[in-house]
Amino acid sequence: MIGSAASVAEVTHISRHGLWLLLGNEELHIPFAEFPWFRTATIEQITTVEWPSAHHLYWPMLDVDVAVASIRQPADFPLMSRVTSAD
């Protein structure tokens, strides 16, 4: 759209421990231990990230939505996961 500014999020580094994401002037670390959806993702899937609003990130190739606050303060957003067998 003409005249609109898009916010750009950029993945600056990926290691076996996590990834680093640049949002404007702020660089955030996203550890795989706390954000397991990215652990087995490809580089293309991780680096294809959208920042549609100040408080929201979206990885379309992974269909993962993340609140920016959950990256800044992960203890405030505990993960609850349960694996069940198909028996």
- The span from the CA of 11 to the CA of 29, in Å, is 10
Contact call for residues 44 and 61 (beta carbons, < 8 A): yes
Domain containing 69: what range?
A: 9-76
Q: Is residue 32 part of a domain?
A: yes
Average pLDDT over residues 66-87: 76
Q: Is residue 2 part of a domain?
A: no
Mean pLDDT of the chain: 87
Question: Tens digit of pLDDT for each residue in 25-50?
Answer: 999 999 999 899 999 999 999 999 99
Virtual torsion, Cα 24, 56, 1, 22, nearest 10 deg: 20
pLDDT of 87 strictly over 60 = no
Q: Is residue 70 part of a domain?
A: yes
Contact call for residues 62 and 45 (beta carbons, < 8 A): yes
CA 8 to chain centre: 13
Name which residue leads in pLDDT, 63 or 86. 63
Phi/psi for 17 (5° steps) reads -100, -20
